[in-house]
A and B are shown apart, each in its own frame.
Chain A
């Protein structure tokens, strides 16, 4: 059982290496350490979002509002920075996280208390959050010269050889790993998605667990919102439009089952990196823009086919002890 999961992630890691090797044959410079760390840095935001999405998907839900949440929080932090440049940036990051968590709360409460299907709730909030950005910004951009230098410098600053943006992703990965493998809350996420009824019998509050997952994905989206806006040094209504689909795609490629209960941190990270490598490789291998979309799409379908086949073979046992009895 655990050997299967291990091999699936390893398989994806091999696919990733093969992909890099393929790009290497067309454009050798791509495989340099500098270029690959650039790819990781560029994929950091996607990794952070994919980790949040994974927590939600594990509980048999989905959060389609992540990119809108990111854009709304990004706009708020940019406007806040433009209005009060003296506000320390670490405090701004905390505000972004709280604001994102608050938006996640809205999703979570609607799913938990009103029992509305998550896809409907988050489709709704996806549009609502975008609408709010328009309302607060009046359709205007927040431009680079209105942001304080410190606001733009943080994700670019280097710490132990890596940009801070990459460190945000690394810390999220470690935090998520500890949460999922070392805490009761993490096991609850798997249990709720694996078999909601059984989870209730073990004393897990299914609604509350889902709520927590939405708050977590919201908080990560919020942080990603600040990172996005400062990385590209511009905030406007349409930032990250459609990015929620990339996030779901990263999870699916990473072997996280849309049916809930199956998935690992390594899978989510590898899935995001897989997409990240494709996104960064396509511009340098000189492929028609019309083919680019088809290639990204095919990668997703192939991953889903693979997942569907492997899920059919192996079920997931959530309570090993109970079964042995």
Chain B
């Protein structure tokens, strides 16, 4: 119901704006999402509003199709072009299909960036990734180390042995594990993103490594299964479960004490950063060039790579202090 109201309000606001354009000097930034009604994106819109309030003289048009299709987004983009917005920040449903429509927008002088889910380089000025592989690899081991001042044995519970992103994150983690004194990675096991297999692998880790202090699972099915296995074994608080997961999926396990903290992108920050970058590009205060930097307000600046993409920040850490605010969001 709350979602519906938000949707209706967003629709009404959008409609009102289309009828009576706001002050001519206002900058209008469109935040285009994969689909309306998804908690993650509603949270991003909240961040965008925060950025708009901070900047002043900025209006956010939060919009998107009703289902996650490229066709729907193309329609939305065309109507935004007709409304002559100043900037479009999009989380794309298809990295190639949107390119022609977005090119058209850029030809009309509209600033176009993609965030969260990217568009091919020719269809945007820059892309904002929520984080980067080295930052994720570092964060997953840092969260374990932060709760283990005396160090100890930790093990990794991954998805399948052939999952590319998992392997990259674990590789990045192993590169920096030496920076955390006393942290010793004793095993890497694979739960194949199946609840039952992940659960058994977590049980196996507990019995074959009696001194295990933490299980790091950079996968959402794995972290939930590991947390459940640890609580069922009566070892909540004794063995720490951390990694990457969603607040809604992990809320109960943070309550039970099986997990003290875990990380994932913060959608509010993401919407905030996308808005700040759009503003700076549209105002001409920064240009999207390889190796360049674009300011993101309170989040510092994003450094662009050769393919004109950049990482926003470390994954955001969720724990008992903030989980209740986020568990309803995504």
Interface residues of A (CB under 8 A from B): 27, 29-30, 35, 38, 42, 141, 143-145, 147, 156, 228, 232-234, 238-243, 279-280, 282-284, 286, 289-290
Contact = CB atoms under 8 A, between A and B. Distances in A.
A283 B249 contact: no
B249 A141 contact: yes
Contacts of A241: 194
16 contacts: A27-B208, A29-B207, A143-B249, A144-B251, A144-B253, A147-B252, A232-B196, A240-B196, A279-B197, A280-B200, A283-B203, A283-B205, A284-B204, A284-B207, A286-B187, A289-B189
Interface stretch (B224-232, B285-293, B294-302): B224-232
Closest 9 CB pairs of A and B: A283-B204, A144-B252, A145-B252, A145-B251, A232-B195, A289-B190, A289-B161, A284-B208, A284-B204
Indicate the member of A147, A240, A284, A286 with the most B CB atoms within 10 Å: A284
A284 B228 CA distance: 19
B255 interface: yes
Contacts of A240: 196
Given A38-B203, A145-B327, A283-B203, A232 B225 contact: yes
B199 interface: yes
Contacts of B253: 144
Contacts of A156: 232
B49 interface: no
Interface in B164-212: 187, 189-190, 193-197, 199-201, 203-205, 207-208
Contacts of A228: 195-196
Nearest to B224: A234
A55 B174 CA distance: 50
Contacts of B204: 280, 282-284
A282 B190 CA distance: 11
Contacts of B193: 238
B83 interface: no
Contacts of B208: 27, 283-284, 286
A234 B189 contact: no
A232 B228 contact: yes
A234 B195 contact: yes
A284 B199 CA distance: 13
A193 B75 CA distance: 59
B78 interface: no
Nearest to B68: A139
A283 B194 CA distance: 14
B228 to A, nearest CB: 5
Contacts of B199: 232
Summarize A's interface: helix, strand, loop or mixed. Answer: helix
A282 B197 CA distance: 11
A141 B248 contact: yes
A47 to B, nearest CB: 14
A42 B200 contact: yes
Given A38-B203, A284-B204, A144 B224 contact: yes
B200 A143 contact: no
A35 B195 contact: no
Contacts of B248: 141, 143, 145
Given A143-B252, A144-B224, 14 more contacts: A27-B207, A42-B200, A144-B251, A145-B327, A147-B252, A232-B199, A232-B224, A233-B228, A233-B252, A241-B194, A279-B200, A280-B203, A284-B207, A290-B161
A35 B233 CA distance: 12
Contacts of A27: 207-208
A239 B192 CA distance: 12
Contacts of A238: 193
Nearest to A32: B207
A147 B248 CA distance: 12
Contacts of B189: 283, 289
Contacts of A233: 224, 228, 252
A214 to B, nearest CB: 24
A234 B249 contact: yes
A157 B245 CA distance: 28
Nearest to B232: A156
Interface string B222-257: 001100100010000000000000001101110100
Nearest to B190: A289
Contacts of B161: 289-290
A289 B198 CA distance: 12
A234 B228 CA distance: 10
A283 B201 contact: yes
A234 B253 CA distance: 11
A280 to B, nearest CB: 6
Interface in B111-165: 160-161
A302 B194 CA distance: 26
Contacts of B232: 156
A67 to B, nearest CB: 11
A281 B76 CA distance: 54
Indicate the member of A228, A234, A286, A290 with the most B CB atoms within 10 Å: A234
Nearest to B323: A145
Given A38-B203, A283-B189, A290-B161, A144 B228 contact: yes
Nearest to B251: A145
A242 B82 CA distance: 49
Nearest to B205: A283
Contacts of A289: 160-161, 189-190
